[in-house]
Homo-oligomer: A and B are copies of this chain.
């Protein structure tokens, strides 16, 4: 009397979908693309995820949670300030990334003008990341790694802004993103 189980690994599919969405964006990723990449026919797709937008939301959540996890891991290993410095080189060098640019920033830029729900969710996740940076700057301050005469929130906003620019620059062929990353890291040492 018990039914069969699905053949796919839902978690793995979310990861693959995230990569597709990350690379090609929301409008740039069609259901045909997803069906091909996830090996799912329409019926299975909608049974598993409900809609393209619902899957996109899951993909962004996965993206953010992994980003926070990596940053936390860096901080545990190297300390708060070194983690922030390591992040600058990681985001432009990690070869497994589907795109150098930030998925949240791409989504926000693409959908914000239409006030799409996914743009709001992207914004929420970016706020989440910013809080993560703020926390690291505060810890760096407490550890004496950077001066006391700075507002951690302001530092975080600037740092996040720099990262967005850096990661977009890293997509270009006429820019040496390594130099920019080095300059951003050097700025952290001057705080």
Interface residues of A (CB under 8 A from B): 23-25, 27-28, 99, 101, 105-106, 108-114, 123, 126-127, 130, 154, 157-158, 160-166, 168-169, 171-176, 179-180, 183, 187
Contact = CB atoms under 8 A, between A and B. Distances in A.
Nearest to A172: B123
Task: Tell me the interface secondary structure of chain A in the complex.
Answer: helix
A27 B109 CA distance: 12
A168 B174 contact: no
A169 B133 CA distance: 15
A169 B160 contact: yes
A28 B110 contact: yes
A161 B162 contact: yes
12 contacts: A23-B113, A25-B110, A25-B113, A28-B114, A105-B168, A106-B109, A109-B109, A123-B172, A154-B176, A160-B169, A162-B162, A164-B169
Give me the 9 closest cross-chain CB pairs, A-B, nearest first: A165-B165, A27-B27, A161-B165, A164-B165, A161-B169, A23-B113, A24-B113, A161-B180, A127-B174
A165 B130 CA distance: 14
Given A161-B162, A164-B164, A174 B130 contact: yes
